[in-house]
Amino acid sequence: MNAVVTPFPLGRAAPAQVGFERDELQRILDLYGRMVAAGEWRDYAMDFGKDAAVFCAYRRAAEYPQARIEKRPALRSKQGMWTLYGEGGQVLKRGHELAGVLFPLERRLVKLVSD
């Protein structure tokens, strides 16, 4: 009898797609819910690709996203894997921690509630 030995793969294989961890998604959806309650956002979309996971928040469904939160693990050791983009596609904040990247949106929410 000839035995066939299949080598065990060394190292970790790259995931087929990037996703949000449970606590990250909880934090994003909590902010989304507060923005909906304030009347700022009405819809959202998520996209999971092999390079990035993206959460987009919309004022109306037919518009460009008012905010886009992107997670790119490949940038973890460089400028940070989290990026917040504004309505025009401009980078509003980059960072290594999700809380710091969400801060401009949370600050705007405080201003909306206080008005």
Neighbours of 91 (CB within 10 A): 12
**pLDDT, position 11:** 65
Closest CA to 18 of 68, 78, 72: 72
Query: Any alpha helices (H) in the chain, and if so which ranges?
Result: 22-37, 98-114
Give the strand pairing for 43-48 and 53-58.
antiparallel
In this structure, what token pair is assigned to residue 65? 């996203």
Question: Contact, 93 vs 104, CB < 8 A?
Answer: yes
CA angle 103, 47, 35 (to 5 degrees): 35
Question: Contact, 31 vs 105, CB < 8 A?
Answer: yes
- The maximal CA–CA distance of the chain, rounded, in angstroms, is 80
> What is this structure's pTM?
0.80
Sequential pLDDT tens for the chain (115 residues): 677 877 766 666 666 788 999 999 999 999 999 999 988 899 999 999 999 999 999 987 667 899 999 999 988 888 889 999 988 889 999 999 999 999 998 888 776 656 5
Closest CA to 41 of 26, 61, 57: 57
How many C-alpha atoms does 105 have within 13 Å on its Cβ side?
32
